[in-house]
Amino acid sequence: MSKEEDEAGKSSGVGGGPPPHNGAFQGVANHPPPSQPPPPPPAVEFPQPVPPPAVAQSSAPHPPPAYVYGTAPGYAVAEGTHVTVRQQRLPCFGLGCGWSLFIIGFFLGAIPWYAGALILFCGQVDPREKPGYMACTIAAVVSIVAVVLGATSPRW
């Protein structure tokens, strides 16, 4: 080999000597290993128990609560007495009109379901009766879909 070919081979990395280190080819047999050791695995421990705050600070005074219930102006508060508020009983044997219409709708061809949906959308409803009226509305929509699909399906 001539001197020019030897220098051309070294500059291209084909001749003798290690290839230039640029971070690529990390697993090749003729490449030196990386100079830094791998990082140690993270330490994993079980959490250590902590004493309750009352034991740790038994002599310290208790801090005031972060929230305080205020009273509305103009209303008397009866502290220490148990006040119960009785609500009126629901109509239709305690079920409410909504659930009664829902149950009757199975026997009267879905007409009560439409009435329940109309009451829900157009009337003022007790919040305790809303689930029954919602059930009527859902049943009315399902019955309409069933009738439409049944009327438009081909006869067998």
Q: Where are the alpha helices (DSSP H) in 43-129?
A: 53-56, 97-105, 111-122
pLDDT tens-place string over residues 99-139 = 999 999 999 988 999 999 999 999 898 888 999 999 999 99
Instruction: Please report the pLDDT score of residue 140 as a whole number.
Output: 95
- Give the CA dihedral 3, 9, 15, 21, nearest 10 degrees: 130
**Angle, alpha carbons 109-112-114 (nearest 5°):** 100
Q: What is the pLDDT of residues 2-55, one digit of tens each?
A: 555 555 555 554 555 555 556 555 566 676 666 777 777 777 777 777 777 666
pLDDT at 139: 95
For residues 8 and 140, the model is more confident at 140
Structure tokens, 145: 């879909």
User: Could you tell me which residue, 77 or 150, shows the higher pLDDT?
Assistant: 150
Stated length of the chain = 156
Quote the mean pLDDT of the chain.
Answer: 75
Contact indicator for 113, 136 with CB cutoff of 8 Å: yes
